[in-house]
Chains A and B, each alone.
Chain A
Amino acid sequence: MSDLPEGIQRREFDGRQRLATRGEPVYGEPTDGEWRCWDAGRSKLGAMIETGMDVRLTAGDGVLYLGAASGTTVSHVADIAGPTYAVEFAARPMRDLLDVAEARENLFPLLKDARKPESYSHVVESDLDVLVQDVATRGQASVAVDNARFLADDGRLLLAIKARSEDVTAEPDAVFDEVCEELHEGYEIIDRERLEPYHDDHLGVVARRR
């Protein structure tokens, strides 16, 4: 298991060693002093870290997060990283995300469509260190490739691929291979790992922009 990124620790919650970060709780997660539990079962990025993938999230990193949903995972990311741009397309989860953003100075919520990066290129800065993507839409690879423009030359992509969003009938492994193949257009894949038992039919990918 690789070393945990700075700002993340393993602490004991309910008798188990679980991930934790420091910051305001967002949905009533268990806390231990100033640390709050990062539940890998609710967060694909959390599951990637839990399965030992080297996500190399560093304090102060500039982050673009696509598919921020209600902001559970993005809250942990923002508590570790620097400027964090959170893109979410649906209005209802955005309401919760706004509460998360109110409590964090470095979190910028954007109600935008991740498939149209030109609609937020005037706000999100260039040369970011990390792109986190967790969108449930068909064409997850092309979303990642289109959004590579925000990354610095050696910037990293932390991607959770949901097999069922691409094709419910196909074998998940076949879907993953296809998506990874398409990713080569913009990225070099460093690591890929299934996210079971935390998330069924999901693949975690760490890649470098090229």
Chain B
Amino acid sequence: MSDQSTGAGWFAGRAPEADADLRAAIRTGRADAPADWPTEAVEGGFADDTEAYYETLRAAAIDAAREAVAEREGADDQQLLHAVRAMDDATRTANELAERCHEWAGTQFDAVEPGIDGARTLADREPSDPVEERVVALAERIDDLASEADDLRGFIERLAPEVAPNLAEMAGSVLAARLISLAGGLDALAKKPSGTVQVLGAEDALFAHLAGHGSSPKHGVIYTHEYVNGTRPEDRGSAARALAGKLTIAARIDHYSGDLRPEIHAELDERMATIRARADGEESGSADGNEEEAR
């Protein structure tokens, strides 16, 4: 089978009965410009006539679409949940081991940097005795573990937009994965009220509040979103509430429909601009901020 050049039709160099080949050609092939493919296919002997061509095309197109749908839908929320938990475990363990390694290495080497970076530098050393051998070997494991955490992050960044396109677009892939993980799945997240989504990850503070100690938490894990941590403290509650509201809608669209809706993202941007304008309003002494508060 010849490679498909950028000028050839999906059937070029293929036999009409090579189902798997034709499916793959439809899914991954490309061309710079369309052409009169039915005529080319008949003239090239791929099909006896245009009717036969269309029949083969239809069967291959349906098979290709079905296969692609199955693959995309197999990208499920549970894989994302495991991946983000594994990433967090790998990161935490690497940091803990790096602390231990730093403490130990200090007895053997001069001027060892703390943390993962320090372990990575140590891993490159040539050990000269059995103790150094152990320290360097430990540092190598830490390096591997930290690299695995990075790879898991890359995996989550690829997977999240497939599993939850709107949630990933709005929250970023890693935060989207965390929300799904905290809720226990995309369907569970889609069924939660926005007030719950707002404090997901702040369960300790929430239960302390419910038991009568302390104030209610304004935000859980969504604090990592720029719209929350980049907003001045007085307005963070409003920002967290607005973000949680739209994240909840995004999760519902992703779970029940699955198509990307640009308008909800624009609506959030607009709302955040209004909330952040309060700070400007107060600085310049205008009354806009107060009107907004009264809405």
Contact = CB atoms under 8 A, between A and B. Distances in A.
Interface of A: 69, 83, 89-95, 97-98, 101-102, 105-111, 118-119, 121-127, 136-138, 149-150, 164-165, 167-169
B68 A122 contact: no
B65 interface: yes
Interface stretch (B4-12, B179-187, B277-285): B4-12
A106 B58 CA distance: 7
Contacts of A149: 33-34
A110 B73 contact: no
A95 B68 CA distance: 10
B258 A92 contact: yes
A93 B259 contact: yes
Contacts of B64: 110-111
A122 B10 contact: yes
Contacts of B165: 90
A9 B36 CA distance: 32
Contact of B58 (A105, A137, A150): A105
B5 to A, nearest CB: 10
B257 interface: yes
Contacts of A110: 26, 61, 64-65
A108 B61 contact: yes
A102 B61 CA distance: 11
Interface of B: 4, 6, 8-10, 25-27, 29-38, 54-55, 57-58, 61-62, 64-66, 68-69, 72-73, 165, 257-263, 266-267, 270
Given A93-B259, A136-B261, A136-B262, A111 B68 contact: yes
Contacts of A98: 62, 65-66, 69
B262 A121 contact: no
26 contacts: A89-B259, A90-B259, A91-B69, A94-B69, A95-B69, A98-B66, A108-B57, A108-B61, A109-B62, A110-B26, A111-B27, A111-B65, A111-B68, A118-B6, A121-B30, A121-B32, A122-B9, A122-B10, A122-B25, A123-B29, A124-B34, A125-B35, A125-B37, A136-B261, A138-B262, A149-B34
Contacts of B36: 125-127
Contact of B54 (A83, A90, A95, A138): A83
Contacts of B260: 90, 137
